[in-house]
Amino acid sequence: MQLTGNTILVTGGNSGIGQALASAFHSLGNTVIITGRRQDTLDATVASHPGMHAVVLDVADPDAIQQVARQLIQDSPALNAVIHNAGMMSEEDLKTGEVATAEAHIATNLLGPIRLNSALLPHLLTLPSATVMTVTSGLAFVPLALNPTYSATKAAIHSYTQSLRYQLADTPVQVIELAPPYVRTSLQGERQANDPNAMPLDEFIAEVMQILKDDPAVTEVLVQRVHAQRFAERSGEYDVFFKRMNDMLRAARHG
């Protein structure tokens, strides 16, 4: 991925990893458009980044995706990159039989990127160079039992990304997967935002941008801190890693 000269759409760019990525690319002189569900947080982000643009979008709404995609292509024909970052992460107790939370995760984390990608790809394929970046998680490779559907949606997006990359191999569209470790953001509220065990957001973004700079043809962006999780099965440590991680986090959350 080229780091300059882009017009980049970042979903969920009004907080956390999305906001930090948007800021990093904006600081390099790219035109950056962020989306989010809340106008106030979008306005606050744009106010602190003069020249950045914002559009309200709930990626769980298929009609809104189509409308926003059409408007973006019309207003910003130079749009050549999309970072599918918007997502939700909630705990679930599978013993209750409740499915609304799972369905919301699937609509936002899985169908959202797939639908938006389908809406934007015809445009991206007309450009001499374009990028699709999906944001998955280390939990795509070793799931967190307290967040079963979140983990499952990220595993599904990993699989989808691999298929997308294969299908677009002979096109101008580069497909990249970014798989973060546990990062210090407010995705799950103040506990995560202040958890000393989480990777500091600024350190994560700095390492991500360095990887993209060092290897423009990269397919998976993996900071060092996520390697043990990403390659747990390959190393033969999957079962041990799964139990240790889940036991530790269950104790930390519900002590």
User: Which portions of the chain are predicted below pLDDT 70?
Assistant: 186, 189, 193, 255
Distance CA 13, CA 64 (A): 17
pLDDT attached to residue 255: 60
* Nearest by Cα to 56 from 68, 45, 72, 74: 68
Question: Which domains, and CATH codes, for the chain?
Answer: 7-226 (3.40.50.720)
User: Which of 161, 117, 114 is CA-nearest to residue 140?
Assistant: 161
* Active-site residue (options: 150, 166, 182, 238): 150
Which pLDDT score is estimated for 254?
73
The pLDDT assigned to 190 comes to 73
pLDDT at res. 186: 66
What pTM was estimated for this model as a whole?
0.95
What does the pLDDT read at residue 198? 83
Residue 84 CA to residue 55 CA, distance in Å, equals 14
Catalytic residue flag (residue 150) = yes
Report the chain's C-alpha Rg in angstroms: 18
pLDDT by residue (tens digit) across 33-61?
A: 999 999 999 999 999 999 999 999 999 99
Question: What string of H, E and C letters represents the secondary structure of the chain?
Answer: CCCCCCEEEECCCCCHHHHHHHHHHHHCCCEEEEEECCHHHHHHHHHCCCCCEEEECCCCCHHHHHHHHHHHHHHCCCCCEEEECCCCCCCCCHHHCCCHHHHHHHHHHHHHHHHHHHHHHHHHCCCCCEEEEEECCHHHCCCCCCCHHHHHHHHHHHHHHHHHHHHCCCCCEEEEEECCCCECCCCCCHHHHCCCCCECHHHHHHHHHHHHHHCCCCCEECCHHHHHHHCHHHHCCHHHHHHHHHHHHHHHHHC
CB 175 within 8 A of CB 161: yes
